[in-house]
Amino acid sequence: MWNLEGKTALITGGTKGIGRATVMEFARLGAKVIFTARNGAEVAALEQELSEAGYIASGMAGDVTNEDDQDKLTDFVFQRSGTLDILVNNAGTNIRKEAHIYEPEEYRKILEVNLIAPFELTRKFFALLKRSTQASVINVASVAGSQDVKSGTPYAMSKAGLIQETRSLASEWAAHNIRVNAVSPWYTATPLVQEVMDQKERYEKIVERTPMKRFAEPEEMANTIAFLAMDKASFITGQNLQVDGGLSANAL
């Protein structure tokens, strides 16, 4: 059946955009959901919303790039579940500039959030994932990781690295029955791309370039992530699923 009943899932960057949609979808599908984000007020508000809807969910405020917060999150998950079936590395950031204009702290932050943090968290949760009979790690990458879409070089670097990290870990951890996959969205209507959506000419160019002639909705990404998390996807690992409205299939 199409459900996640009996599964414990952790979703980073869980209060906005794709992360929030994934939290809601996983809860609806019966998972025990744990999520994290930097803004404590947003975490508390979403936790209350989920509780009032009758879902089992816990939130923790923290910075995925901070080692102390990573360790606290590991303990948080262990105390509430003792195991972890699904890890969704969704937290991400971007600053759009020409390459020569970036300050070192800006591009390092992009790499820390988008590439280093997912690797560190996945490593730290290895023991809990190994306890699961069918563990699944899903990294939220980007079309920018496999082709130039003018998203900024550091962002593209970080997502390309995340895609290769996905493939390497999938090969390494298959022996432990831990699947690792990536989902690469094209432009999705989230706060991260609001500045693009506010620029009418740029927005229209992106829509025109997209065969399906629109931006994706966060729920469409959440549905894809949910599928990869399910036991029904039990023989799928090491894949980068491009959810891009046909962009990668369009040569023109």
Distances (CA, A) of 198 to 108, 192, 193: 27, 12, 9
Catalytic pick among 55, 107, 155, 187: 155
Closest by CA to 99, choosing from 35, 169, 177, 153, is 153
121 close to 87: Cβ distance less than 8 angstroms = yes
Q: What is the pTM of this model?
A: 0.95
d(CA 209, CA 48): 40
> What pLDDT digit, counting tens, does each position of 54-67 carry?
999 999 999 999 99
155 is known as an active-site residue: yes
Q: What is the mean pLDDT of residues 217-223?
A: 97
193 band by pLDDT with thresholds 50, 70 and 90: confident
φ/ψ of 10, rounded to 5, equals -115, 130
Neighbour-count burial of 113, counting CB atoms closer than 10 A to its CB (0-12 exposed, 13-18 middle, 19+ buried): buried
Distances (CA, A) of 153 to 88, 92, 103, 111: 24, 15, 13, 11
The pair of three-digit structure tokens given for residue 145, joined into one six-digit string = 């990781």
d(CA 21, CA 160): 24
pLDDT tops 70 at residue 160: yes
pLDDT value at residue 251 = 52
74 vs 214: which has the higher pLDDT: 74
CATH topology of domain 8-249: Rossmann fold (3.40.50)
pLDDT value at residue 196 = 80
pLDDT tops 80 at residue 252: no
